[in-house]
Structure 1
Amino acid sequence: MNNTGGSFSLRKSAIIIYLPSFLFASAEGAIIPVIPAMSNGMGSTLAVAGIVASMLTLGILVGDIPSGWLVSRLGERISMTLAAVVALIGVGISLVARDPLTLGAGIFVLGLSNAQFALARHALLTTVVPLAFRARALSLLGGMFRAGAVVGPLLSAGLIGLSGNPHSALWLTAVGLAGTVITVYFLPDPAATSDAPKLVTEPDGRVLTSGEDEVEKETRGLFRTIRTHGSVLARIGFASTITGAMRSSRNVLLPLWAVSIGLHDAQTALIIGLATALDFALFYSSGIIMDHWGRIWAAVPTLVVMSASVSVLACTHDLKDATTWFIVCAMVFAVGNSIGSGMMLTLGSDLAPPSNPAPFLGAFRFMLDAGNAGAPLLVSGLTALAGISLAAGGMGILGFIGAGMMLRYIPRYLPRR
C-alpha cells in the first residue's frame, strides 16, 4: 500500500467502500426507535421493554471479543458478508417472536453482527485506503453511519404510518441488510481500486492484510492491556465509558419515554429521525472545536448538554405539554451529541502508545462499548425500581459526573491538547 496515495481515488472507491456501511446503518436505524414499542405490544412492562432494547448494545459488547480473531481468519469482505447474514437471522427471529424473550434474542443476534461488521469495515478501510487519505476516509465513514441513522428512522416512520404496525420496521431492516449482502459480495473488491495492499506475515505463518492484522491486535490480550494501562483507563477511560453510556441511553430512554407518554410509534420514529438529522448536520463542528480549542472543549460541553437535556426531560413526564418537551429535549440532546462527534476516537488515538497503539485502542473501544451496553440496562433497572422519570434523572447525574472527570483528567493526561 502506498502511503502517499499512489493511484488510489477516494471518489472512485466511494460506492464500493461506503454504500454497504450506509445500508447497514440504515437497516439498524430503522428498528432502534420501535424496539420498546414492539416489546410493549407483546405485553411487557416499560422496564422489560428497556431490557429488550438493551440487547442490541449487549450483543455489540459480547461480539467485540471474538471479532478481531474472526476478521483475521475470514478476511474483511467475508466477515462483512457473514455479519449481514447473521443480522438477517436476528431479524428473522424478531419477526416470528411472540414474546419479549424471543424478541430480545433476535435483537441480541443483531448486536453481535453489528460488532463483527463494524470491525471488518474498519479493517477494510485500513487495508485499501492509503495513509494520505485515511483521515478523510474515516470521517466519511462516520458520516455514512450518521446518514444511515437518519434515513432509517425516517423511512421507518413512513412505513409504520402506512401500515399501523411497528413490526413493519423489521421488513425495512431486512431489505437494508439484504442490500448490504449484495453490495459487499457482488460489487468489485475495493482492493482492486487501490494499490496492492500491504501484507503482514504472522509468527504462525499466516499472511494477513494490514487491516486484518490491526484488528486482531486490538482484541488480542484485551484484559491484560486494560491492566497495563489501568491508570489512564480508570480515569479518562471511565469518563469515556460514561460518555458512551449517555449516548447509548438515548436509544432506549427516548423510545421508552415516547411509549410512556402515549406517542404513536410512527411519531416516535419521526421525532428520533429528525433529532438524528440535526446531529448529522452539526457533526463536523466537533472536529473544528477540538482542533482549534482543544479536546476538553468538546468533551465537557457534550456531556453537560446531554445531561442537562435528560435532567429537564425527567421533570416533564406529567405535564400537559409533555410531547413538546420530549421533542425539545430530544433535539437538545442531539446538539450535545454532535458537539462530541469523533471525540472518543480522537481521545483514544491521543492516548494510545505510538509504538503499538492497537491493543490500547481495542481496550479503549471495549470500555466505550461497556458503557453503551450498560446504560440501557441501567435505564431499565431504574425504570423498574422507581419509574422512567427517575431513570432519566439518574442518567443526567451520571453525565454530570463524567463531565467533571473529563474536566479534571484531560489536562493531566493531554496537557497540550
Structure 2
Amino acid sequence: MPPTDDLPGSSAPFSLRAIALPAFGPSLMFGIGEGAILPMIPLMARELGASIAMAALMITLLGLGSLLNNLPASFITMRWGERGAIIAAGFWSAAGMLLCLQTHRLELFALGCFMVGMSQSVYNIARQSYLTAAVPPGYRARALSTLGGVMRIGLFVGPFLAATVVHAYGMGAAFWIGIAGVTCASLIGMRVPDLPEPALPAGQAPVHTTWLSILKDHRRVFLTLGFAILLVSAVRASRQAVLPLWADHLLLAPAAASLIYGLAGGIEMLLFYPAGKVMDVKGRRWVALPSMIIIGVALMLVPFTTGFVSLLIAAMAIGFANGIGSGLIMTLGADHAPPHGRAYFLGAWRFMADVGSTAGPALVALLAAAVSLAVGVAATGAFAFTAAAMMARWIPPHRAR
C-alpha cells in the first residue's frame, strides 16, 4: 500500500493506508467472489440443458444487469447512502449466486446471473461515490486507480480459489466461494463510516437535485467527455474479444491463447498505482492520451501478427496501455461529479461507460461477420485514436486541486 504523504496545500497529512480496509477491502472480496463464479457460469448453464449460445448468453446477462441497473443504482445510493448501498449490493449478489446454485431451471439460473450483474452497478457506484467524497482531490486518481486495481486482483485470484475446490467438490463449490466473498464484502462494508452531507455556503438554501436536473445541468460534459468515455470503454471491452479471436485465427492452441491473455492481464495489475500517481501529480491527460494512443497502435498491429511471439508483443502493449489507464474513467467521473446529487451523476456516467462496453465487442463481431476480423480489429484501433483526440480536447490540462 502506498506510503503516507502530505496533501499539498494542507497541514493535515492524508494516507491511503489509513482507509485501506474500509475503502479497498470490500472491493477485493467482491472481486474474489465474482471471479470465482465467472468460469463456472457457462458450464453450470450447460448442465441445466442450455445450448452453447445460451450458455454464452448467461455471461452477457451479467453485463446487461449492470447496464440496466446503473440509474436505479444511483437512486439506491442517494436514498441509503454509500455505506448502505455497499452492504446491500453484497447481500443481493449472494442471493443471486445462491439462486444459481440451488435452482434446476435455466430461466431461474438466468435470473440469478442478472441479479449478480445488478449488484455490480450498485456496488461500483457506491464505492466510487464514497471515495470521491472521502479522499482529497490531490489523491483522488490514486485512490480510484487502486480501487480498480484491487478489484482486478480479486477477479484474478477468484478463479484459482474456485479451482482448488471444484476439483474435489464439483462446480457448485465455486458458487459457495463466490457467496463467501461477496458476503465478506458486505460485512467489511459495515465498518465503512457514513459520510456527512456536504456543507452549504453560508446563506445558501438546501440544494434539491433529481436525476433529470443532473442530466440537464451537466449535459455538456455528458455529450463531450462522456462520449469519449463511451469510446474508451468500447475499446477496452473489445480487446477481450480481439485477442482470443485473433489467436484462434492464427490457429494457436487454446493454452497458448490463454497464456497470452494472462500475461497481458498481469501487466495491467502492476500499473494501477503508478497510473494514479501520474494522474494526481501531472494531470489526467498524461495518462489518458498515451493509454489510448498505445492501445490504438497495438490494435492496428494485431492483424499483422503471424504467430505466438508477435501476438504476445501486441497483447503486452495492449495490457500496458490498459494498465496505465487504470482508474481513468472513474477519476474523470469523480472530477466532474457535483457534491449534491453525486450518485445521480456517477450513475449516468457509468451508464455511458457500460453502453460502450456492451457495444464494443458487438461491433467487432458484426464487422468480422460482414467483412473480416482484421477490419473489426482495425476499427477498434480507430476508436482508440478518436477517443484520444476527444480527450485531448475536453480533459482540462491541469491536475485536480
Q: 1:111 matched to which residue of 2? A: 117
Say which SS state the counterpart of residue 224 (structure 2) adopts.
helix
Given that 1:278 and 1:335 are in contact with CA atoms closer than 8 Å, whether structure 2 keeps it comes out as yes
Aligned pair 1:179/2:184, yes or no?
Answer: yes
Say which SS state the counterpart of residue 244 (structure 1) adopts.
helix
Cα deviation 1:218-244 (Å, max 9, x = unaligned) = xx325x544554454333322210111
Pick the aligned partner of 1:221 from 211, 217, 236. 211
In structure 2, the CA distance between the partners of 1:263 and 1:99, relative to structure 1 (3 Å rule), is: farther
- In structure 2, C-alpha distance between the alignment counterparts of 1:93 and 1:128, rounded to whole Å: 35
Q: 1:88 matched to which residue of 2? A: 94
Shift of 1:402: 3.7
Which runs of 5 or more residues in structure 2 are unaligned? 1-8, 201-205
Mean Cα deviation higher: 109-118 or 15-24: 15-24
- In structure 1, C-alpha distance between the alignment counterparts of 2:70 and 2:146, rounded to whole Å: 23
- In structure 1, C-alpha distance between the alignment counterparts of 2:234 and 2:74, rounded to whole Å: 23
How high is the TM-score relative to the length of structure 1? 0.71
Shift of 1:74: 2.9
Say which SS state the counterpart of residue 51 (structure 2) adopts.
coil
- In structure 1, C-alpha distance between the alignment counterparts of 2:335 and 2:126, rounded to whole Å: 23
How high is the TM-score relative to the length of structure 2? 0.73
Say which SS state the counterpart of residue 101 (structure 2) adopts.
helix
Shift of 1:142: 3.3
User: Quick one: which amino acid aligns to residue 233 of structure 2?
Assistant: G
Given that 1:84 and 1:181 are in contact with CA atoms closer than 8 Å, whether structure 2 keeps it comes out as yes
Q: 1:338 matched to which residue of 2? A: 323
Q: Percent identity?
A: 33
Given that 2:97 and 2:179 are in contact with CA atoms closer than 8 Å, whether structure 1 keeps it comes out as yes
Given that 1:225 and 1:363 are in contact with CA atoms closer than 8 Å, whether structure 2 keeps it comes out as no
Backbone CA RMSD of aligned residues: 4.6
Say which SS state the counterpart of residue 112 (structure 1) adopts.
helix
- In structure 2, C-alpha distance between the alignment counterparts of 1:103 and 1:327, rounded to whole Å: 36
Which runs of 5 or more residues in structure 1 are unaligned? 203-207
Given that 1:303 and 1:403 are in contact with CA atoms closer than 8 Å, whether structure 2 keeps it comes out as yes
- In structure 2, C-alpha distance between the alignment counterparts of 1:108 and 1:254, rounded to whole Å: 26
Q: 1:249 matched to which residue of 2? A: 238
- In structure 2, C-alpha distance between the alignment counterparts of 1:74 and 1:350, rounded to whole Å: 23
Q: 1:205 matched to which residue of 2? A: none
Cα deviation 1:302-326 (Å, max 9, x = unaligned) = 234434555555677xx7x56x666
Correspondences of 1:3-402 after superposition (within 5 Å) = 11=17, 13-32=19-38, 35=41, 44-45=51-52, 50-95=56-101, 103-125=109-131, 137-156=143-162, 162=167, 169-185=174-190, 189-191=191-193, 197-199=195-197, 220-222=210-212, 225-226=214-215, 229-251=218-240, 272-287=261-276, 289-290=278-279, 295-310=284-299, 329-349=314-334, 360-378=345-363, 385=369, 390=373, 393-402=375-384
- In structure 1, C-alpha distance between the alignment counterparts of 2:198 and 2:335, rounded to whole Å: 25
Mean Cα deviation higher: 344-353 or 70-79: 344-353
Given that 2:299 and 2:380 are in contact with CA atoms closer than 8 Å, whether structure 1 keeps it comes out as no
Aligned pair 1:404/2:386, yes or no?
Answer: yes
Shift of 1:279: 0.6
User: Quick one: which amino acid aligns to residue 392 of structure 2?
Assistant: I
Shift of 1:155: 3.3
Shift of 1:350: 5.0
Say which SS state the counterpart of residue 175 (structure 2) adopts.
helix
Given that 1:128 and 1:190 are in contact with CA atoms closer than 8 Å, whether structure 2 keeps it comes out as no
Shift of 1:99: 7.8
In structure 2, the CA distance between the partners of 1:225 and 1:184, relative to structure 1 (3 Å rule), is: closer
Shift of 1:288: 5.0
- In structure 1, C-alpha distance between the alignment counterparts of 2:137 and 2:192, rounded to whole Å: 16
- In structure 2, C-alpha distance between the alignment counterparts of 1:111 and 1:274, rounded to whole Å: 27
Shift of 1:83: 1.2
In structure 2, the CA distance between the partners of 1:348 and 1:181, relative to structure 1 (3 Å rule), is: closer
Matched residues, number: 384
Shift of 1:57: 2.0
In structure 2, the CA distance between the partners of 1:114 and 1:270, relative to structure 1 (3 Å rule), is: farther
Mean Cα deviation higher: 230-239 or 307-316: 307-316
- In structure 1, C-alpha distance between the alignment counterparts of 2:264 and 2:114, rounded to whole Å: 25
- In structure 1, C-alpha distance between the alignment counterparts of 2:284 and 2:297, rounded to whole Å: 20
- In structure 2, C-alpha distance between the alignment counterparts of 1:143 and 1:103, rounded to whole Å: 30
In structure 2, the CA distance between the partners of 1:126 and 1:86, relative to structure 1 (3 Å rule), is: same
Shift of 1:25: 1.4
- In structure 2, C-alpha distance between the alignment counterparts of 1:180 and 1:292, rounded to whole Å: 31
- In structure 2, C-alpha distance between the alignment counterparts of 1:154 and 1:312, rounded to whole Å: 32
Say which SS state the counterpart of residue 190 (structure 1) adopts.
coil
Given that 2:125 and 2:346 are in contact with CA atoms closer than 8 Å, whether structure 1 keeps it comes out as no
Given that 1:149 and 1:276 are in contact with CA atoms closer than 8 Å, whether structure 2 keeps it comes out as no
Given that 1:272 and 1:330 are in contact with CA atoms closer than 8 Å, whether structure 2 keeps it comes out as yes
